[in-house]
Amino acid sequence: MKYPRTILSIVTTGALVGCATVDWTLGSAESTTGIRFEYTAPETTLFPSNLFTVTDRSNHTGLRINLPKPDCNVHPSDCEDVNILNQLDGFNAHPRITVPFSADIDPASVSSKNIYLIRLDGTGPSERIGVNQIMWDPATRVLAMRADAVLAQHARYAIVVTDAIRDPDGKPISRRPFGAFLNSLQANGKGNPELDAYRKALLNAARAAHLDLDHVAGMSVISTQSATTDLEAIRDQIKASNPRPADFLIANVKGMPAKAVLDIADIRSVTHVRQTGVAPLSFSRQPVDVRQMRLVTNGSATVAYGKFDSPQYRTAEGIFPPAGTLSGKREPMGRESVYFTLYLPSGKMPSGGWPVAIIGHGYNDSKDAAVTGFASVLPSHGIAVIGINAVGHGGGADSRLEIETSRGLVSLLSGGRSVDMDHDGKLAGYEGMHARGLPLASLVDNRDGLRQTVVDLMQLVRTIEVGMDVNGDGIPDLNRERIYFAGASMGGVYGTAFLGTEPRIRAGMLIVTGGPWIDLVRLGAIRARPDAGYGLALSRRKPALTNVRDGNGIRYNENVPARDQPVAINDVTGAMKLQELFDRHEWVSQSASPLAYAPYIARTPLPGNTPKPTIMHLAYGDAVVTTTPSLALIRAGGLEARTTLFRYDRLRAEHPELPKDPHRWQTGVVAGTEAQQIDLQHQMAIFFSSDGSRFVDPDGDGLLFENKLPH
């Protein structure tokens, strides 16, 4: 059957106003099963869709999300989520797509050949983007899937569903509901500019994508969220500033203020006295592994502790206030002294100062443990190392370092950034990173804690740019033209955003990391922790979303299908609701997601930036960051050609006494991996010294490292 000439003329000539009502009659070979297009709620129509937006000229997309709320007396948590989602200017750039049907379909007939996306704005490639992780839910007759690639930010795409999907009898699904939907938009759009604009967007999309409407059973048009704009704007503010120099006068020696600049040879021990509570005031004592300062000869000669002022953009609840992504302006909520630890190489400083690598630490870690783990090998190559505490990390503000030297005790504040946000008197090792203190207590979660950490790193770069004079001789000790970055685990999460936005960084390394954050949690060992693993938060939602019976009532099963597998059939009650929540988490977190920033590191740099050569490091058997989120980050950033795999399985086969999980091996935390830690850091130093042009195998012809993707 051919469509009536009226609809064809609309699509081919662009005569979009005043057309006749379309009549798509049911063909004899078609099924009566079709896609539902009841556009009053996301669950009853093809979603995502710009139907659920309103015009907002303050945003890059010209739109703002406008989801309807459920009954807030019954679903208060969902209502709070919708309030947050409705602040965004577009949809998830890695969208979960849901297609509700009027009756059963044959799930085996679904593939990227009959559901796909096409970019519409003409500024990027227009090839089809397929789908993956496809699941059919028989209970609701909903087909769910993910786009097979990360989409561009603030861009327009069409989601297309064709009649190549079959019903259980093998008949093509009906196109009639889509025709009726267009007719409804035309009829109701006369008094509703938003509906009329969406109808025109659909028809223009069909024309621009050269679609064969004889086989289209459904379409939607979506605009993706602006992910990088806030950090770009803040970066430009920081670049335009003229900050005060770094302050090293932060130590106390025999009751007198002193510069916190010490000779490595004089140091006997370092203890991190970490504030763990505010009511009552409590501390723990954690030794810093000073052996890491002396792993190789001719490493660091000097350690310096200092601080700088950094603008803070979060509210007391840990959230960036909403602002338009086009015309909105970010204003700091205040300023904070951010402390750093710096190791300088031995030998004669080169003209212009030492090249410097910024180190990003992981979740529940601190700068002093992480940066010290890189304090020997990189300096032996003439590269200084420096790092800060991420937001919420390093203990409370009264945390300090006690350094025992050959000349006596040196004491100084360590710059702890943990905050008692849940008012229980205790300070978790990450408290202050997450909005409202606890993971998933808000859909914002750690999004803005990660972004604020990127802001602090940008301010650190600016402080290096204006001149960081450690010894007070008037000559900068760090080279502003030779700045690099290496981040592990969570350090790689915020590090990806940092690499994607900060133009001064010349090359990077991302170690045992991946994204999105929700996948790091649900697929890794952290899932088993009731607090950080989201079980506690899911049990506290109203209504609760924990769907696995256990003694604590905090377990859950989201039943998300793996990539590149046949269509899965859902058989877990409550899984689809969890999948929706986790997609919303990823959606809200786009502006801090490594998947959203990875394309801008090297593949398609942001305006004013240049490509940054970057190595991605994975560890075989890593239980905290599993292969799935790591490979997602590699695909998003096009990092396949510079990926190194640590074959911990082979090392452990030779030494079964080693721990099962190698996650923190890169800083010497995992006993028995010191030689491999040194190999990795030599690879890093060679890579940075060559500005990313030399990508060597860490152990040469050895069998413990492979410069290739895992199978």
| Averaged pLDDT, 220-244 | 97
| Lookup: tokens for 392 | 């919420």
Torsion of CA 114, 120, 124, 126, to 10 degrees: 30
230-516+593-706 matches 50-226 in CATH topology: no
**Contact in structure between 42 and 100 (CB atoms under 8 Å):** no
Query: What are the residue ranges spanned by the domains of the chain?
Result: 50-226, 230-516+593-706, 521-586
| Averaged pLDDT, 85-94 | 98
Q: How far is CA 243 from CA 215, 467, 476, in A?
A: 61, 10, 15
Angle at 563 between CA 561 and CA 566, to 5 degrees: 70
List the one residue out of 214, 212, 221 whose CA is nearest residue 185: 221
Torsion of CA 3, 5, 9, 15, to 10 degrees: -110
Of 16 and 257, the structure prediction assigns the larger pLDDT to 257
d(CA 295, CA 380) in angstroms, rounded, equals: 10
List the one residue out of 656, 486, 584 whose CA is nearest residue 91: 584
**pLDDT value at position 209?**
87
**pLDDT value at position 16?**
34
| Averaged pLDDT, 113-118 | 97
List of residues 6+ apart from 461 with CB closer than 8 A: 358, 483, 502, 504, 505
DSSP letter string, 191-248? G-HHHHHHHHHHHHHHHHTT--GGGEEEEEEEEBPP-SHHHHHHHHHHHT--PPPPB-
| Lookup: tokens for 264 | 């490595």
**pLDDT value at position 670?**
84
pLDDT tens digits, 291-311 = 999 999 999 999 999 999 999
d(CA 346, CA 329) in angstroms, rounded, equals: 44
Residue 304 host element (H or E): strand 300-312
The CATH number of the structural domain formed by 230-516+593-706 is 3.40.50.1820
What percentage of the chain has pLDDT greater than the value 70?
95
Q: What share of the chain is helix, strand, coil (3-state, %, to 5)?
A: 30, 25, 45
| Averaged pLDDT, 371-392 | 98
**Contact in structure between 248 and 306 (CB atoms under 8 Å):** yes
448 pLDDT higher than 50: yes
Q: Return phi, psi of residue 421, to 5°.
A: -80, -25
Strands 300-312 and 478-488: unpaired
In three-state secondary structure terms, 387 is strand
d(CA 315, CA 657) in angstroms, rounded, equals: 47
Q: How far is CA 10 from CA 6, 122, 180, 186, 202, in A?
A: 6, 20, 16, 12, 11
pLDDT band at 328 (very low <50, low <70, confident <90, very high): confident
pLDDT tens digits, 638-691 = 999 999 999 999 999 999 999 999 999 988 778 889 999 999 999 999 999 999
**pLDDT value at position 307?**
99
Strands 505-511 and 614-619: parallel
d(CA 390, CA 120) in angstroms, rounded, equals: 39
pLDDT tens digits, 592-633 = 999 999 999 999 999 999 999 999 999 999 999 999 999 999
Strand partners, 356: 384, 483
| Mean residue pLDDT across the chain | 93
pLDDT band at 11 (very low <50, low <70, confident <90, very high): very low
Q: How far is CA 703 from CA 512, 630, 668, in A?
A: 19, 21, 20
**pLDDT value at position 5?**
26
Sign of the four-CA dihedral 386, 392, 397, 403: negative
List the one residue out of 338, 343, 419 whose CA is nearest residue 382: 343
**pLDDT value at position 9?**
29
| Averaged pLDDT, 226-250 | 97
pLDDT tens digits, 333-346 = 999 999 999 999 99
pLDDT tens digits, 527-562 = 988 878 899 899 999 999 999 987 766 789 999 999
In three-state secondary structure terms, 671 is coil
**pLDDT value at position 10?**
31
pLDDT band at 25 (very low <50, low <70, confident <90, very high): low
pTM of the model as a whole? 0.94
AA letter at 536: L
**pLDDT value at position 666?**
87
**pLDDT value at position 519?**
96
**Contact in structure between 342 and 368 (CB atoms under 8 Å):** no
List the one residue out of 485, 475, 504 whose CA is nearest residue 348: 475
Q: How many CA atoms lie within 13 A of 353 on its CB side?
A: 24
d(CA 163, CA 170) in angstroms, rounded, equals: 11
The CATH number of the structural domain formed by 50-226 is 2.60.40.1220
| Lookup: tokens for 256 | 């007198």
Of 709 and 7, the structure prediction assigns the larger pLDDT to 709
Within 10 angstroms of residue 536's Cβ, the number of other Cβ atoms is 19
**Contact in structure between 687 and 694 (CB atoms under 8 Å):** yes
List the one residue out of 120, 98, 125 whose CA is nearest residue 110: 98
Q: How far is CA 393 from CA 164, 367, 371, in A?
A: 52, 9, 14
* Burial of residue 560 (number of CB atoms within 10 Å: 0-12, 13-18, 19+): buried
The DSSP output letter for 456 is H
